[in-house]
Structure 1
Amino acid sequence: MNNKKVLIITYYWPPAGGPGVQRWLKFVKYLTEFNIEPVVYIPENPNYPLIDESLVSEVSDKLTVLRHPIKEPYKLARVFSKKSSKTISKGIISDNKKQSFVEKLMLYVRGNFFIPDARIGWVKPSVEYLSEYIKKENIQTIITSGPPHSLHLIGLNLKKKFKLKWLADFRDPWTTIGYHKQLKLMKSSEERHKNLEKQVLNIADQIIVTSFVTKKEFEQITARPIEVITNGYDKESVKAFEMDSMFTISHIGSLLSKRNPEILWKVLSDLVVENTSFSKEFKLNFVGAVSEEVLESIKKNNLSNYINNVGYVSHKEAVMFQRKSQILLLIEIDSEDTKCIIPGKLFEYMVSNRPIIAIGPKASDVEKIIKETNTGNYFSYSDYKSLKIIILEHFHSFQNKTLQSHPIGLQKYHRKELTKSLSKLL
């Protein structure tokens, strides 16, 4: 039986690091088990903000990977400000009041001259290049994954040109994602974003989203079928390790300016003052990029001496931090727009056997999944008392060597199970 060939158009691919690369790397890994042969199309010379060489070994030698050059404005932007271009490309945007003139200008240019994003220049050459490949290989099905949402415009153009089945995968929303509001958009630019989003949602044959909130949001714009396929976890081979001897609370991933739970820093600061044992055994690990605003809040709460600011590490090292830490921290911006965000690391947290403490907006998808799977506790930005009680309970369990999580029903979030759901759509 011949495998069905499917063309996957994505920007993030090894050696890119960060959460964006994991989703399609794992789908591609398992698709062949469901009689589907993936062909991956990526940029030849991308400007990845994070690099993780360890992920290259996960790409099969048998996989066909097509590459085509891309021109990106971040290289030009570095002429004006290396620091601003690097942080903006990572998604770290300072608060309005703290933005330099150069950063404000770059955000204005990025939002109004590069619609929908800085990879728009790759659309036309990609459509030309892929048109030849589609004709030659008789490709019947394509998938585009965004952000960057420019890649959906490649799908849109190919769909108009050929009789293809097109699946548009949204790892994040488009016009309602938090940073969209920070792009200093003119009214005409905002309308253009919404118009392109509407076209993609109404012309693609199938929409895939990673959250239930995004599905509801998109149902107001399109009648096309929408399937929720969340991110998930894969079996990770971890070398033998010992649990941290300290009471470590670890946050894995970026902590942006607005992901700054003052309430947590206050709880930890009070526990340090009130509980001598806690102050001697507590340590806070930051594994990933941390904004200056967060570090200032930490300092203001007299917690600077308790911080282990590790910085960005490879995915394998991040998994090791997850397994060894006593508690895992998940923080989301307190906003209506972030209720739909389900970070990929949540699923890795869930299988690490460590209790999760999550802080974010009420009634979010993360809260739903954590409660469903019994993998931790979820708090709003005003839950001082209950947050303090849980951290103290966990600390006592740590002292008694009984601290662990008791998850239920995790199997449906395994990457292979999720790929099975994808294969049914194909």
Structure 2
Amino acid sequence: MGDKKVLIITYYWPPAGGPGVQRWLKFVEYLPDFGIKPIVYHPKNPNYPITDNSLLDELPTDLTTIKTPIKEPYGLAKLISRKHTKTISSGLIPDKKKQTFLEKIMLFVRGNFFIPDARKNWVRPSVDFLSDYIATHNIETIITTGPPHSLHLIGLKLKEKLSVNWLADFRDPWTTIGYHKSLKLLKSSKLKHEKLELDVLNNADRILVTSNHTKNEFQSKTKTPISVITNGYDTNSIMINEKDKAFTISHIGSLLSNRNPKILWEVFSELITENEVFKQNFRLNLVGVVSDVIINSIKFYGLEDYTKLVGYVSHNEAIRYQKKSQLLLLIEIDSEDTKAIIPGKLFEYMISETPILAIGPRDSDVEQIITSTNSGSYFRYTDKSELKKQVLYYFEAYLEGNLKSNPIGLQKYSRKALTKTLSELLM
């Protein structure tokens, strides 16, 4: 008997950059170790807001991939406004108070004419193509991963048509994710999203989620079995000669308008004013896409001269920044909706031998992971004095030459261990 074949239906695939691609790239790498042969279906000509060609080198050489063309509205929208299109397709929804008339129209159209999202036109051709492929290649199990959640509609229709075993993987929630409220949804559109979400939850054979909060949310909506398989870390061979000489604090990844930790900028600003040694050593790296709202806040708090806007870098380069920094920032929006969000970078942060300084909502999954693994410290947006004390504590440890993290219990978050858990659900 050969390996069991599993078809993975994804939108994000190398050379797509960003965290969305990492989860299944790593599952695909390790599934053959557990007797499972993955076949990946992805679009032929997608509109990726960011690309990282270095990820192409991580693709298994014997991997079977299949692809079909996709028609996306962003090409047409670019004729109207390239800048606004790139912003919105990247998930950088402009600050509500500062949205231009054109941005408001684009968000309204995106929210109400493209349900569940702008990739909806790929559903029907994909179902037609994959129906034949699945029958011809005797595939019994399919996995859809979203966002974009329109990919779950491909799974829904294939399930109806072929009765395949179907796992729906939610890397993020659907109707409760923060940006959903920014899409200017009409009541009828909101109801349509909720109906589609329920159709997927109730018809999949199993739901995969990345956090306990999402599991709890979905359990209140469906009786379908739900498994939590978080994102994780992979071993890497990236070496650095030494840490930065300066007291470098780095944030890796996008910093969106509503993820603006003014409390932290205030703490840095006060320490620069009060402590000459801190002022001489402090540096802030923002690695990734940064919104204008954040940049303006940095200027407002007098941090401009201490801040380096690095911009988007390759995954390998991002790991170098993690390892060279003295502290790593993890910032989440202070909202009920974000308690379920566990950024993929958290797990890479945890193995970087660099302590994490995190700010987010009370009782989030991120807080539980950081606390249980002893990989850093976590604060709420009301904890200014405690946050300031902690930054000063880290700074003093840096001056003494003994600032490092001492994490525990990380092994269960390794990509290989997580793939083993997935493989057990597939057998």
The TM-score bracket by the shorter chain reads over 0.9
Contact 2:28–2:38 at 8 Å: present in 1 too?
yes
| Aligned residues of 1:80 and 1:102 also touching (Cα < 8 A) | no
Structure 1 contact 336–361 (Cα < 8 Å) conserved? yes
Match of 1:369 in 2: 369
**1:200-215 to 2 correspondences below 5 Å:** 200-215=200-215
2:194 aligned partner: 194
Deviations 1:379-417 (A, max 9, x none): 001111110001001101111110000100000000000
Alpha carbons 1:331, 1:360 under 8 Å: kept: yes
* TM-fit CA distance, 1:60: 1.2
TM-superposed CA distance for 1:240, in Å, is 3.6
In structure 1, give the amino acid aligned to 2:397: S
For residue 101 of structure 1, report the CA deviation from its aligned partner: 0.5
Q: Does 1:137 align with 2:137?
A: yes
Whether the 8 Å CA contact 2:375–2:406 is kept in 1: the answer is yes
Residue matched to 1:314: 314
- 1:103 is paired with a residue whose SS is helix
What is the CA–CA distance in structure 2 between the aligned matches of 1:121 and 1:221, rounded to whole Å?
27
Q: Contact 2:240–2:324 (CA<8 Å) still a contact in 1?
A: no
Shift, 1:80, TM fit:
1.3
Partner secondary structure for residue 232 of structure 1 = coil
Q: 3-state DSSP class of the match of 1:42?
A: strand
The superposition leaves residues 56-89 of structure 1 with CA deviations (integer Å, 9 ceiling, x where unpaired) of 0111121000010000011111111111110111
Secondary structure of the structure 2 residue equivalent to 1:208: strand
Give CA-to-partner distance per residue, 1:295-346, whole Å, 9 cap, x none.
Answer: 1111111111110100000000000000000000000011000000000000
Aligned to 1:397: 397
SS of the equivalent of 1:371 reads helix
Q: Give the structure 2 partner of residue 46 of structure 1.
A: 46
For residues 23-71 of structure 1, the C-alpha deviation after alignment (integer angstroms, 9 at most, x for no partner) is 0000000000000000000000000011000000111121000010000
Q: How does 1:159-308 map to 2 (within 5 A)?
A: 159-308=159-308
Deviations 1:132-156 (A, max 9, x none): 1011001100000000000000000
Q: Distance in 1 between matches of 2:45 and 2:423?
A: 30
Q: 1:416 corresponds to which residue?
A: 416
Paired with 1:107 and 1:130, the residues of 2 have a C-alpha distance of 31
Amino acid at match of 1:94: P
Q: CA RMSD in A?
A: 0.5
Identity of aligned residues (%): 64
How far apart are the structure 1 equivalents of 2:231 and 2:319? 16
Aligned to 1:95: 95
Q: TM-score, normalised by structure 1?
A: 0.99
Amino acid at match of 1:300: F
Distance 1:61 1:268 in 2: 47
Counterpart AA for 1:72? E
Contact in 2 for aligned 1:107/1:184 (Cα 8 Å): yes
Per-residue CA deviation, residues 210-250 of structure 1 (Å, 9 max, x unaligned), is: 00000000001100000000000000111342210100000
Aligned residue in 2 for 1:157: 157
The one-letter code of the counterpart of 2:73 is P
In the alignment, what sits opposite 1:357?
357
Distance in 2 of aligned mates of 1:259 and 1:123: 32
- TM-score normalized by structure 2? 0.99
Q: Contact conserved, 1:110 with 1:183, CA < 8 A, in 2?
A: yes
Give distance in 1, aligned partners of 2:399 and 2:125: 60
Counterpart amino acid of residue 9 in structure 1: I
CA contact under 8 A between 1:45 and 1:70: conserved in structure 2? Answer: yes
Structure 1: where are the runs of 5+ without partners? none
Which structure 1 residue ranges, 4+ long, deviate > 6 Å from structure 2? none
> Amino acid of the residue matched to residue 259 of structure 2?
R
Q: Which residue of 2 aligns with 1:4?
A: 4
Q: Is the 8 A contact 1:232 1:415 kept in 2?
A: yes
Contact 2:240 2:323 in 1 (8 A): no
What secondary structure does 2:166 align onto?
Answer: strand
Q: Partners in 1 of 2:89 and 2:236 — Cα distance?
A: 29
Letter in 2 for 1:112: N
Give the conservation status (yes or no) of the 8 Å contact 1:84–1:103: yes
Deviations 1:251-298 (A, max 9, x none): 000000010011000000000000000000000000000000011111
| Contact map agreement 2:5 2:139 (CA 8 A) in 1 | yes
Partner AA of 2:244 in structure 1: D
* Distance (whole Å) between structure 2 residues aligned to residue 354 and residue 82 of structure 1: 38
Report how many residues are paired: 426
Could you tell me how far apart the structure 2 residues matched to 1:406 and 1:62 are?
38
How many Å separate the matches in 1 of 2:240 and 2:360?
Answer: 33
Find out whether 1:60 has 2:60 as its counterpart: yes
> Which runs of 5 or more residues in structure 2 are unaligned?
none
Counterpart in the other structure of 2:148: 148
Q: Is the Cα–Cα contact under 8 Å of residues 77 and 85 in structure 2 kept in the other structure?
A: yes
Residue of structure 2 equivalent to 1:341: 341
The whole-number CA distance in structure 1 between the counterparts of 2:208 and 2:411 is 20
| Paired position in structure 1 for 2:125 | 125
Q: Could you tell me how far 1:96 is from its partner in structure 2?
A: 1.1
Q: Distance in 2 between matches of 1:163 and 1:101?
A: 46
- Distance (whole Å) between structure 2 residues aligned to residue 389 and residue 134 of structure 1: 58
* Distance (whole Å) between structure 2 residues aligned to residue 109 and residue 306 of structure 1: 40
- SS in structure 1 opposite 2:142? strand
Distance 1:59 1:354 in 2: 28
